Amino acid sequence: MDLILLFFIFLLAAFLGLELISKVPSQLHTPLMSGSNAISGITVVGAIVATGANEDGTTGMILGLLALIFATINVVGGYLVTDRMLQMFKKKGK
Amino acid sequence: MELDNIINLAYVIAATLFVFGIKMLGSAETARRGNMISGIGMLIAVVVTLLDREILDYKWIVAGLIIGASIGGIAARIVKMTSMPELVALFNGFGGFASLLVAWAELEKIGLLGWQLYMGQMGTPAQFSSFVIYLAMLIGGVTFTGSLYAYGKLSGRVSGRALVFGGQKFLNILLLVAILGIGVVFTWTENLDTASSLFVVGVSLALVFGIMGVMPIGGGDMPVVISMLNSCSGLAASAAGFVIGNNVLIVAGCLVGASGLILTVIMCKAMNRSLGNVLFSGFGAANQSSGDDDDREPKAINVEDAYYVLEAASSVVFIPGYGMAVAQAQHVVKELAELLEENGAEVNFAIHPVAGRMPGHMNVLLAEADVPYEQLVEMDNINPIMPTVDVAVVIGANDVVNPSAVNDESSPIYGMPIIEAHNAKTVFILKRGQGKGFSGLVNKLFVMNNSRMIYGDAKATISAMVNELKG
């Protein structure tokens, strides 16, 4: 991996993130937070590799499995709860 | 080589979907679709990761995914809307913890392979790997315990008050210095045994630091803390991305970090305080009753008399706060609002940006109760028409309607934008007892001539009003 390239990506993503949601109606603050929180569960990708790439019973595999469980709770729970909230916002729109 | 290209291409698609998803979450019409799009991005990222050549065995991966998905799915389904802030805090903490564990697992991997082989695989200097492993651990650990403690405060399992004690700042600085010092040694040492002992010490200190950091922050400042922890969990994921050299983690984590930061800034602005002030001042810990010479007593009114005033009113504004969430009064409030409308009154809800314990907390509760979106008015739009309002009903809100913020320069909250309930012709304040608000400040609104207190549980009070109106 080219280090400089990684930093470059990081920097661009930071600016993109700041630009994306500079103006959000306050009504959407909670769903935005919980939705972006679900995205931060992307660590699940690292956890999958850590779980699968280590031999059974090694410390690395156990740490990976724990990471996988916690990250999956974050991802699945985060998306579903955000959807539940947004569903409520929707139904009164009619 | 071929396979790696496919995986990386899929990661690019996933990252693109995250960007679109977050963008769409920022607007009411597209928010739900946005959330789904970012969910699809996540699904793609997870599925292609399963193709990774490093993976030897799938049984634990499947087990982990099933366990995590079941817990997350059930929790998301059964949670009450009033408990939303603590659930978000909890999920957030889990994300941070996962990043810590991923960094730890990577350190174990280095321990097995040895630096020589590992550096050959990664193509990055050893110091860089050590540095980002420590960073991901640190941010992830602080996010984890900080969020858990915030969860405890929000759910009432621990006291929501700001906790300050003598030497607290000194202790925190000491802790921070120790964490950074160990980090420096950890980064530069080549000895893997030393590194792994230092890491464990670092983990414990980071976990303690998360708790210490949230301790001096009171319940009313929670919207800021939650947004900030949200931002941190993103940064932790991003740091974990540097650890394992994965673009999609870096991009997605950084997007979340940035969006969380913006929310944090919005929340701070809504309280007219700096982030530093929120984090370190221990605001609301002591009873900072500003030398008050006003000894007027608040005037109470009973439900029946309040009903006559409400019945005659042609415009009513409800101002909800955290107390409405505690009393779970949103449904009866909606019922009352409907009856008043049938009675010919114009009804609105004035929402302060930091009302409640989470950004947008009141909006979620009122949406749950089916209050039409058009009736939810933001602070800047309600204040100009406040003098024409017949009755303002404050439900469990305190500091966000404290007129000292506008007209008392000596007040600690002077300059904070408020909903100017005191300009309404009559103000009803529904309050559990005579206690002070979160800030510990005396609220002059309560003793003004046009104010009347209605003591008791907000839900019971409003139900009684509903019955009067029906009867």
| B50–A contact, CB cutoff 8 A | yes
How many Å apart are CA B396 and CA B386, to the nearest integer? 19
Which residue bears the tokens 């769409």?
B24
Q: What are B27-30's contacts with CB under 8 Å, separation 24+?
A: B27/A25, B27/A28, B28/A25, B28/A27, B28/A28, B28/A89, B28/A93, B28/B373
Is the predicted pLDDT of residue B470 greater than 90, yes or no? no
Please report the number of interchain residue pairs, chain A to chain B, with beta-carbon separation below 8 angstroms: 391
Dmax (CA) of chain B: 83
ipTM attached to this prediction: 0.93
Contact flag A42-B21 (C-beta cutoff 8 Å)? no
Distance to chain A for B9, nearest Cα, Å: 15
Q: Which chain B residues are closer than 8 Å to A1 by Cβ?
A: 122-124, 245
B301 versus B73: the higher-pLDDT residue is B73
* pLDDT confidence tier of residue B293, bands split at 50, 70 and 90: low
Q: What are B160-164's contacts with CB under 8 Å, separation 24+?
A: B160/B218, B160/B219, B160/B222, B161/B218, B161/B219, B161/B284, B161/B285, B162/B215, B162/B216, B162/B217, B162/B218, B162/B221, B162/B282, B162/B283, B162/B284, B162/B285, B163/B215, B163/B216, B163/B285, B164/B215, B164/B216, B164/B282, B164/B285, B164/B286
Contact flag B368-A88 (C-beta cutoff 8 Å)? yes
Q: Closest CB to B233: pick one of A37, A72, A73.
A: A37
> Is this model's pTM higher than 0.80 or not?
yes
How many Å apart are CA A21 and CA B404, to the nearest integer? 32
- N- to C-terminal Cα separation, chain A: 51
Residue type at B243 in one-letter notation = V
* pLDDT confidence tier of residue B1, bands split at 50, 70 and 90: low
Contact B80, A81 (CB under 8 A): no
Other beta carbons within 10 Å of B236: 34
Q: Which chain B residues are closer than 8 Å to A82 by Cβ?
A: 35
DSSP A73: I
Q: Which chain A residues are closer than 8 Å to B262 by Cβ?
A: 17-18, 21-22, 24
Contact A92, B371 (CB under 8 A): yes
Q: Which chain B residues are closer than 8 Å to A69 by Cβ?
A: 64, 67-68, 71
Give catalytic status of residue B293 as yes or no: no
| Interval B173-203: pLDDT, tens | 999 999 999 999 999 988 888 999 999 999 9
| B145–A contact, CB cutoff 8 A | no
3-state percent breakdown (helix, strand, coil) of chain A, nearest 5: 85, 0, 15
Q: Is B247 helix (H, G, I), strand (E, B) or coil?
A: helix
Distance to chain B for A44, nearest Cα, Å: 7
DSSP structure string for B26-41: TSTTTHHHHHHHHHHH
Distance to chain A for B412, nearest Cα, Å: 25
| Interval B78-118: pLDDT, tens | 988 878 888 999 999 999 999 999 999 999 999 888 888 88
